């Protein structure tokens, strides 16, 4: 017992619905096929593993894991989180948390955080929960998951290419129809099982992605600022030959920008070229101090 709540049996901790089981099955099948048939894929996986083992990348993901675990522990202690939310937490961490860390590290969009919050706080969060709360039989999920995965991947790949606008609209329409069908099925099941649907556990499940998204933003903000400062320090290190001085100049830029990510990115874009040609630490500091932000 802990805080009046029993530790979970392993069956509860590992409980997955049919949609999650089907997703894992297809993920294993696709990965196994790609690794067995494609030498390029094997080389890419090895490259990713080597990159993940580097000190900087490993430290980033260890910090992310510690941050997520710490917040989850707080939710557990205050009675919000329990083991029935284990898989929801794991899916959010992999699909949103890890993706966000990878994306924000090289993201140059000043409006990244506004778009990140908008994307994750949309009503789609509720719709995704509804469609996942009531899964079809396993055989049906094994058919639906690859269809949904293909449509989602095709939509992402064609989103930004102007010549694929018509295909993008078609994939989005098909994906919307599939989502609508799942939602109708979930709504029918919720109506016939309203007592369980309108419960505190359901409310927790609906709110969990929103809670994690909001709490995750400060971590991503600090990570994004560190990433930009690291870019400045690396570029300056090529000129100044002193890593400590390069980092002190990068932190001076951050102070001049008053910890604002948008100002930091604007400084890099508008004044970075002038900073890179500075030949000494004093010249770099003078340039930073005298440049309007």
What is the residue whose two structure tokens read 């955080």?
A: 113
Q: For residue range 230-270, list pLDDT tens digits in order.
A: 888 888 877 777 788 888 888 888 888 888 888 888 888 88
- Residue 41: pLDDT band with limits 50, 70, 90: low
How is the chain split into domains, by residue range? 224-290
Q: Percent of the chain having pLDDT more than 90? A: 3
- Mean pLDDT, the chain, rounded, equals 75
Q: Assess whether pLDDT exceeds 80 at residue 45.
A: no
So what's the pLDDT on residue 186? 73
The whole-number pLDDT of residue 73 equals 92
Question: pLDDT tens digit string along 48-95?
Answer: 666 556 677 778 888 888 998 999 999 999 888 888 788 778 878 877
pLDDT above 60: residue 100? yes
């Amino acid at each position: 017992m802990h805080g009046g709540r029993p530790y979970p049996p392993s069956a509860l901790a590992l409980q997955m619905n049919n949609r999650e089981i089907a997703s894992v099955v297809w993920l294993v099948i696709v990965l196994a096929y790609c690794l067995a048939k494609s030498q390029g894929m094997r080389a890419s996986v090895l490259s990713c593993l080597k990159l993940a083992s580097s000190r900087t990348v490993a430290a980033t993901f260890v910090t992310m894991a510690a941050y997520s675990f710490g917040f989850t522990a707080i939710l557990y202690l205050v009675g919000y989180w329990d083991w029935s939310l284990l898989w929801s937490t794991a899916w959010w961490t992999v699909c949103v948390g890890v993706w966000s860390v990878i994306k924000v590290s090289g993201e140059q969009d000043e409006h990244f955080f506004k778009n990140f919050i908008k994307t994750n706080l949309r009503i789609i969060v509720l719709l995704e929960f509804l469609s996942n709360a009531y899964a079809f039989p396993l055989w049906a999920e094994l058919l639906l998951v690859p269809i949904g995965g293909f449509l989602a991947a095709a939509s992402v790949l064609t989103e930004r290419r102007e010549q694929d606008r018509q295909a993008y609209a078609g994939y989005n329409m098909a994906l919307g129809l599939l989502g609508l069908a799942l939602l109708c099925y979930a709504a029918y099941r919720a109506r016939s099982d309203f007592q369980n649907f309108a419960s505190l556990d359901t409310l927790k499940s609906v709110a969990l992605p929103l809670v994690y998204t909001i709490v995750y933003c400060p971590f991503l903000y600090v990570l994004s600022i560190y990433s930009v400062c690291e870019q400045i320090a690396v570029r300056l290190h090529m000129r100044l030959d002193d890593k400590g001085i390069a980092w002190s100049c990068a932190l001076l830029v951050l102070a001049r920008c008053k910890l604002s990510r948008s100002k930091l990115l604007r400084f890099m874009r508008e004044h970075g070229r002038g900073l890179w040609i500075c030949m000494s630490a004093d010249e770099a500091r003078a340039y930073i101090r005298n440049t309007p932000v």
